[in-house]
Amino acid sequence: MSDLSGKHGLIVGIANERSIAWAIAQAADRAGARLALTYVNERLEGNVRKLAETLTQPPLILPCDVSQDDQIAAVAAGLDREFGGLDLLVHGAAFAPREAITQPFLQTARGDFQIALDVSVYSLVALAQATAPLMARREGGSLLTLTYLGSERVFPNYNVMGVAKAALEASVRYLASELGPEQIRVNAISAGPIRTLAAAGISGFSDILSVYRERAPLRRNIEAGEVADAAMFLLSDAGRAVTGEVLLADGGYHAMGL
């Protein structure tokens, strides 16, 4: 049921080999999908191209700063030319200025707030606008984004990103409602803490990992590959009846009170 043979997918948000988006790309490649990968700037282009060389099917590689509408439009045009349509989209883009995470939420500057919401939330909407016609051409598709429990609970030094993730999850529900008639599903995975490039910017992240190991029902931290396995369910026909959902893959930590 997780076979993606003949499917075409777009993966946005790969920074390096530790990225959750990269783990999902690898799983989708193993499942038979032909992929397009994006990079946000020249500094990360080399990482993406090097990783792309390890995939079974050579992917289409495109630049995409998700804060720029013209670049998103160019990606959609490239997908149209190369694939003729689109079946899958994985949205792993998220960013907030360092000051907005290291300082108390009360001190969040207007500009930093706007950047965090633009890159981390509106980018999903913009990508959905650009790719929905390509998915409709295939009579349906699946959009998947990545969130975190900081959308519902206060985590130290997460601050404006928690607010952004809450908005992202609301966006998932609204997009699922509007795209559903086109048989386009929209879901999110709320993963437990994983040592990614983004996590490196969160002060005290090692303490968060320790708390999860102690209190999650599985008594361990999760791995990116486990999130990718959950993603395969939502991206494939196995999850064909699921939309507007936030699937928690965190070892059960979210279920605990203390």
Sole residue written with tokens 């279920």: 255
Which position among 158, 174, 212, 253 bears the catalytic label?
Answer: 158
Residue ranges in the chain assigned as alpha helix (H): 20-30, 42-52, 69-83, 98-102, 110-117, 123-136, 160-179, 205-215, 224-235
| 158 labelled catalytic | yes
Q: What is the DSSP letter of 155?
A: -
Question: 53-75 b/e with 16+ CB inside 10 Å = b?
Answer: eebeeebbbbbbbbbeeebbeeb
Distance (Å, whole) CA 40 – CA 64: 5
Of 148, 174, 212, 253, the active-site residue reads 148
Nearest by Cα to 49 from 39, 57, 40, 41: 39
CA 116 to chain CA centroid, nearest Å: 15
Q: Which helix (H) or strand (E) holds 37?
A: strand 34-39
Note if 174 is an active site residue. no
- Positions marked active-site: 148, 158
